Chain A
Amino acid sequence: MGTFSFSLVSPEKVLLEQDVSMVVIPGLEGDIGVLPGHAPLLTLLRPGVVKVYEEEKILVKIFVDGGFSEITPERCMTLVTEGIPLESLDKASLEIEIKNLLEDLNDSQTAEERKEADRNLEISRAKLLEIMAYQKAS
C-alpha cells in the first residue's frame, strides 16, 4: 500500500511530519479517513482525535482542539490550535476542569465570555469522551 505525506502543525510547533499510509481526522461533519489519492478537500475540524496509521497499525493518536485540514492526492496538511497525545490526558483533572468551566459558563456575563466558556467546555468534553473510549479499549 502506498503512502502520502502527512503534517500536523500547531502555531507553537510541528507536531508530526512524515509519510503515512492512512490518517483519520475528525472532520466537522464526521470522521474522515484519508488514504493516498484522496480527492482534494478542504475541511474544518471539530475537537477530536487524529489517528495516524502506518501499515494497518495505529502509530499515534493525538487529540486536537479543532482546526483546518487541506487534503490533496499527495498530501494532507492539518493545522490545529493545539495537539496533545491522547495518552497524556488525565481523566480526573478533566472532570474538575469541566466542573470549573460549567461554573464559568454560569458566571459569564457578556455574550463573548459565554461563547468562550462554551467553546472550552466543548473541547474538554470531547477530551473526556475520547480518553474514556481510549481507556476502555486498552
Chain B
Amino acid sequence: MATLKALRDRRKSVLSTQKITMAMKMVAGAKLRRAQEQVEASRPYAFRMREMLRDLAENTQALESPQPLLIGTGKTDTHLIVIATSDRGLCGPFNSSLIRHSRKLITSFQGQGQRVKLFCVGRKGKEVLSREYKDLIVESFTEIGHPRLRFSEAQRIADSLLNMYEDGLFDMCTIIFNHFKSAMIQEVTTQQLIPVRVDSPEKKPSFSPLKAIYEYEPSESTILDQLLPQNIAVQVYNALLENAASEQGARMTAMDSANRNAGDMIRKLTLAYNRTRQAHITRELIEIISGAEALH
C-alpha cells in the first residue's frame, strides 16, 4: 500500500499536468480561431485562381509555346512528394496519420516504377522520415509560419519547388496535407501540383458560341508564364494554411481528452488518498483505545 505522502505527491503532479494540458488546450483554441479565419480568407483566391486557369485551359486551342507546368514534361519518372507536417508535437494523430499516408504513397509510387523524392515542410515529418528515407529527402523547410503564415513564406517554398522543376529534378509533384474540416475532423489530402490538374479536362466544349473567347493582354503565353507559378504558390499557401488550422484543431482535441483523463486520474487518486488517511486515523484511534483498555 502506497504511503500517504507518495499519494499526495502523485496527485500533485497529475494536477500540474492537468494545468498544462488545460493551458495548451486554451492556447490551441485561440490559435485555431485565428488559423481558421485565415484559411477561410484564403479559400476564395485559391478557388478563383482555379476558375481562371480552367477558363484559360478550356480556351487554349494550340499553345504557341509548350507549358510544362500545365501539361507536364511528358515523363513520369520522378515524383516529388511535398509533405506538410507541423513543427511541434502533442497534437494527437495529426503528424502520424500524415506520415502513415506518405509512406503508403511512397510505396505505391515506387511500385509503379517511379523514383520518389521527398520535400518536407515542418520539423516532425522531417525527423521521422529521415530515419527511413534519408536518401530521398531533397529539401526541407522548418519553422514556417510562426506566429502566422504569410504568403511570402509560401512563395519561397513554391519558388524552390519551381527551381527544382526547371532543373529537371522531378517530373511530377504531389502535396500531402491535412484538410481542415472542423476542430474535430481533419482529413489527409493529396493534391497534384505539377502538372496542374484542371478539373474536368474531359468535357471540352466544342467551341460553343456562348462561351467567351478571351482576348489576352499582353499574350496568352506571357499570362500563363505568370499565372502558373503563381498558382503553385497559392496552392501551397492554401495547403499550409489548411494544415496549420488542422494542427491547432488536432491539438485542441488531443489536449481536451488529456485534460479529461487527468481529471479522472485526480479523482481516483483523491479517493485513494482520503481512504488511506481515514484508515490511518482509524488505526491510530484503535491503538489508543486498546492501549487505554489494557490499562484498566
> How many angstroms from the CA of A9 to the CA of B55 in the assembled complex?
18
Chain B at the A interface: SS class: helix
- Residues on the B chain within 8 Å of A7, using CB: 44, 48
> How many angstroms from the CA of A33 to the CA of B46 in the assembled complex?
26
CB of B266 within 8 Å of the partner chain: no
In the complex the two chains form, is B212's CB within 8 Å of A81's CB? Answer: no
> How many angstroms from the CA of A29 to the CA of B215 in the assembled complex?
14
Given contacts A11-B234, A12-B151, A79-B49, whether A68 and B41 have CB atoms under 8 Å apart is: no
In the complex the two chains form, is B213's CB within 8 Å of A79's CB? Answer: no
CB of B168 within 8 Å of the partner chain: no
Residues 213-246 of chain B, each 1 if its beta carbon lies under 8 Å from chain A, else 0: 1111110101100110010001001000000000
- Residues on the B chain within 8 Å of A77, using CB: 48, 51-52
Question: Restricting to A14-68, which residues have a CB under 8 Å from any CB of B?
Answer: 14, 27-29, 39-44, 68
> How many angstroms from the CA of A70 to the CA of B85 in the assembled complex?
35
Expressed in whole angstroms, the minimum distance between the Cβ of A77 and any Cβ of chain B is 6
Report how many residues on chain B are interfacial, defined by Cβ distance under 8 Å: 30
In the complex the two chains form, is B52's CB within 8 Å of A68's CB? Answer: yes
Expressed in whole angstroms, the minimum distance between the Cβ of A79 and any Cβ of chain B is 6
> How many angstroms from the CA of A103 to the CA of B111 in the assembled complex?
52
Given contacts A68-B226, A70-B55, whether A44 and B48 have CB atoms under 8 Å apart is: no
> How many angstroms from the CA of A12 to the CA of B152 in the assembled complex?
11
CB of B45 within 8 Å of the partner chain: yes
In the complex the two chains form, is A11's CB within 8 Å of B151's CB? Answer: yes
In the complex the two chains form, is A79's CB within 8 Å of B45's CB? Answer: yes
CB of A72 within 8 Å of the partner chain: yes
- Residues on the B chain within 8 Å of A39, using CB: 215
> What is the interface of chain B, defined by CB distance below 8 A to chain A?
38, 41-42, 44-46, 48-49, 51-52, 55-56, 150-151, 154, 212-218, 220, 222-223, 226-227, 230, 234, 237
> What is the interface of chain A, defined by CB distance below 8 A to chain B?
7, 9-14, 27-29, 39-44, 68, 70, 72-73, 77, 79, 81-82
Nearest 8 Cβ contacts at the A-B interface: A40-B212, A43-B217, A13-B41, A11-B151, A40-B214, A11-B45, A9-B45, A42-B214
